[in-house]
Structure 1
Amino acid sequence: MRSLLNYATVSLLAVPALAGPILSERAGNNQDRCNHDSPFKNVQIYANYRYATKLQQTINAFNAKGDAAGAAAAASLKTTPTFIWITWTQINYLEPQLLDAKAIQDETGQQQTIPLVVYNLPGRDCAALASQGELQLGSDGIPRYMTEFIDPIVSIIRRYASLRYVIVLEPDSLANLVTNMHIENCANAAATYKAGIAYAISQFQDKNVAVYLDIGHSNWLGWNSNLQPTAELFAEVKKWAGQRTNKFRGFISNVANYNAYNSTTPDKIYGPGPDNSNWNEWRFFRALTPYFTNFGLPTKFIVDQSRSGQINIRSSANSWCNVKGAGLGIRPTTDTGDCNVDAIVWVKPPGESDGTSNPDAVRYDALCGNADAFQPAPEAGDWNEAYIEMLIKNANPPF
């Protein structure tokens, strides 16, 4: 899934994290100090069983090697919440997981929150190839997106209104419109992306739903020259959605990428010079906040840290596909150290491939076969057993 330009990881995190289905919320942490209405507060984030099922083969693989520590680490991931990705072909998998979450909620009395990624814009991922979607740009693209994708998802989650939902909308899409309009596919997709996301925002308005819009990451939109255009674009989309009546909670960064949340030094691939002083995700959030405030946008954030445990592992800032040497990052937590950062989350389920290293594949992207990429690798979304074992071994913090 990744789109181009300035990619980076960042160094060791100063923020503590604990694995487990309830996001870590220790006494005195930022959630208690801030006392705001975070959708992650006092809830259990659902750990979906489809991901847990995939992990069983990893547990078996470690056991077959006599690696009890690796098996135990893999087993712990079964209860670590990762986001459920809903694409055109995945809608039918949503309701069974909501049934499972509701059963847990009814049995335990613990409020369940479902983490979802809604990911199916027409002409999806205009600057990449590995994860382009099923809906094509054209006269029927947006009507089908609205009536055959967004509307059914809204209908399903409203049937399970006792649950709560955190929704990440369309990773990479709007970020591409900030930096990649020189690419014909992105220029052609611009109006469709804006209209589709605006419609989705307008429909996900229930009180038990919190929506976060994707803002790329610190080494993409974090460059100083990108901050103002980013705020202008998101303000435009908010206006399309209906500025007074349609709201979203905030923004998410680093989806399926490798940048750390907080650090003391930048990764080498940011390069020298002052052009991007926002060399981690927290600095990126701080830099965007005054621009968002000026445009009447929310200033709450979440950040994906599922594969951000290691630094200095890429030779190129453009490398985003199955980066070798990567490790699991800080575990999901609400202890972020910043009142405006709601949570550290795992949006990308570790072990699911970013794209194939097979050059004969229809959706082969050269970045999935470059020197920074772990090989061999299957198609985007498929399970990569060797890769998840590496991520566990390289986890930081370690198990």
Structure 2
Amino acid sequence: MVQLTQFVLATAALAGAASAAPKPPPGPNVNPWTGKDRYVVQSYGKKLDQTIAAFTAQNDTLNAARTRTVAQKISTFTWVTTRDGLSLISQAIKEARQQKKGPKKMIVGLVLYNLPDRDCSAGESAGELSSANNGLQIYKKEFVDKYAKLVSEARDLDFAIVLEPDSLGNAVTNQGVPFCANATPIYEEGIAYAISKLQFPNVHLYIDAAHGGWLGWADNLKPTAEVFGRVVAMAKKLNPMAKIRGFSTNVSNYNSFQAKVRENYTEYSPSWDESHYATSLAPYLEAEGLPSHFIIDQGRVALPGAREEWGEWCNVEPAGFGPLPGSKQNNTNVDSLVWIKPGGESDGKCGLTGAPAAGAWFDEYVQMLVKNADPPLAPTYMKKPHGPKA
């Protein structure tokens, strides 16, 4: 009863925040995804050749054809996670230009993910830079500055850039972890710097806002918005014109956009799926003068009952590909559903027996994602070559 009362009070407070919150400063509110083609990452498609071959060997032509659809037609994001990985931006630009047809603009999804002391609480995706070894200066000058130069020079393309998945979530909830407490000022300064440097008309920035199971609890909404407000204010001190388009959620996680079944572990949370998380967080963002626009990763969605608790995040089984990027949805805070985490890349040596290291290809897992896709993927069959006329 006490918990239920707390939930009712928190819901009332949320409603009050929604009515009292000042709106962000007026300005153009053009959804950057509207009316644009989306870049399909060819290197991801090549990885899926292994999955297509596996289904073909099983005489499963339907799921081979469904995998071919993912490889050839569905837009995902390119993750740039090291200084050497900056070459992936050039590759994406080249391929996007080749894919562009007609007068429509092309939007390219990128992830910027290389903070010093990265992944302070989980450790499965630890990066190349350490704050103890001049990591922040290296991050700024050898990573962010070069990143910004590459996207600024491709003015014929638009870019949607997700900034540092999971990092600021640690600033909200994991200050009791010494490594995270020490890393937080580094995270905030690094992301503020990236925002200040990525101010170009063809670039649309989304700060990562973790997911509803992490930051969507009633007590976390206001502190989360305050952290984001502080970081954007820091960016404005570096560049008075600094702004962001909004926030990304559910990156590399498994939450539904709109849950068909409300899981028991979401009880008392106003953010039981990602649509409700966006709606719950929006008024607190607006109270900080921030935009309340979201992109939501649906590249992998856990099936109902797959998890016993929300904290299960690693190679969750069973799961499937979720709604396609750009699918229609009924939440005005959401710019687009997207596939940010490429399905098939392991979360780490956890979750399932035999799972490979973080980022390594996990073909058995992607086969499961294809089979469990919801809605089911449309098949793309290979065209039979025309033989010589008789």
TM-score surpassing 0.5? yes
Tell me, yes or no, if structure 1 residue 124 matches structure 2 residue 118. yes
SS of residue matched to 2:162: strand
SS of residue matched to 1:219: helix
Match of 1:262 in 2: 258
Match of 1:346 in 2: 339
Match of 2:68 in 1: 75
Match of 1:245 in 2: 241
Aligned partner letter, 1:307: R
For residue 266 of structure 1, report the CA deviation from its aligned partner.
1.8
SS of residue matched to 1:58: helix
Aligned partner letter, 1:254: N
The 8 Å contact of residues 250 and 300 in structure 1, kept in 2 or not, is answered as yes
Match of 2:91 in 1: 96
Match of 2:16 in 1: none
Please report the TM-score for the alignment, with normalisation by the length of structure 2.
0.86
Aligned partner letter, 1:301: F
Aligned residues: 346
The 8 Å contact of residues 302 and 317 in structure 2, kept in 1 or not, is answered as no
Aligned partner letter, 1:388: V
Aligned partner letter, 1:379: A
Match of 1:214 in 2: 208
For residue 96 of structure 1, report the CA deviation from its aligned partner.
1.8
Match of 1:161 among 145, 155, 173: 155
The 8 Å contact of residues 301 and 321 in structure 2, kept in 1 or not, is answered as yes
For 1:162 and 1:310, how far apart are their aligned partners in 2?
Answer: 40
Q: Over aligned residue pairs, what C-alpha RMSD do you find?
A: 1.5
Match of 1:326 in 2: 319
For residue 97 of structure 1, report the CA deviation from its aligned partner.
2.0
SS of residue matched to 1:303: strand
Aligned partner letter, 1:253: T
Q: For residues 47-80 of structure 1, what are the alpha-carbon distances to aligned partners after superposition, in whole Å with 9 as ceiling and x for unaligned?
A: 1110011011111111111000110110000110
The 8 Å contact of residues 334 and 342 in structure 1, kept in 2 or not, is answered as no
Match of 1:14 in 2: none
Q: For residues 179-210 of structure 1, what are the alpha-carbon distances to aligned partners after superposition, in whole Å with 9 as ceiling and x for unaligned?
A: 00000110000110000000000111100000
Match of 1:384 in 2: 362
For 1:109 and 1:293, how far apart are their aligned partners in 2?
Answer: 35
Tell me, yes or no, if structure 1 residue 281 matches structure 2 residue 277. no
Match of 2:22 in 1: none
Aligned partner letter, 1:97: A
Q: For residues 272-319 of structure 1, what are the alpha-carbon distances to aligned partners after superposition, in whole Å with 9 as ceiling and x for unaligned?
A: 4x3x12211111111111111111011111100111152220123221
The 8 Å contact of residues 309 and 330 in structure 1, kept in 2 or not, is answered as no
The 8 Å contact of residues 302 and 316 in structure 2, kept in 1 or not, is answered as no
Match of 2:292 in 1: 299
Match of 2:283 among 262, 283, 290: 290
Match of 2:127 among 133, 150, 158: 133
For 2:247 and 2:183, how far apart are their aligned partners in 1?
Answer: 21
Percentage of identical aligned residues: 40
Match of 1:148 among 142, 145, 157: 142
For residue 265 of structure 1, report the CA deviation from its aligned partner.
4.1
SS of residue matched to 2:213: coil
For 1:230 and 1:261, how far apart are their aligned partners in 2?
Answer: 20
SS of residue matched to 1:101: helix
For 2:355 and 2:337, how far apart are their aligned partners in 1?
Answer: 27
The 8 Å contact of residues 329 and 396 in structure 1, kept in 2 or not, is answered as yes
SS of residue matched to 1:168: strand
For 2:258 and 2:189, how far apart are their aligned partners in 1?
Answer: 34
For residue 336 of structure 1, report the CA deviation from its aligned partner.
1.9
SS of residue matched to 2:214: coil
Tell me, yes or no, if structure 1 residue 236 matches structure 2 residue 214. no
Match of 1:201 in 2: 195
The 8 Å contact of residues 261 and 304 in structure 2, kept in 1 or not, is answered as no
Aligned partner letter, 2:253: N
For 1:316 and 1:230, how far apart are their aligned partners in 2?
Answer: 22
Aligned partner letter, 1:98: I
Match of 1:48 among 41, 55, 65: 41
For residue 161 of structure 1, report the CA deviation from its aligned partner.
1.4
Match of 2:183 among 184, 189, 211: 189
Aligned partner letter, 2:264: K
Match of 1:355 among 334, 341, 348: 348
Q: Which runs of 5+ in 2 are unaligned?
A: 1-27, 378-390
For residue 264 of structure 1, report the CA deviation from its aligned partner.
5.2
For residue 128 of structure 1, report the CA deviation from its aligned partner.
0.8
Give the number of the structure with larger relative contact order, counting CA–CA contacts within 8 Å between residues 6 or more apart. Answer: 1
SS of residue matched to 1:211: strand
Q: Which runs of 5+ in 1 are unaligned?
A: 1-34, 357-367
Q: Moved runs in structure 1, 4+ residues, more than 2 A?
A: 107-110
Match of 1:10 in 2: none
SS of residue matched to 1:344: strand
Match of 1:32 in 2: none
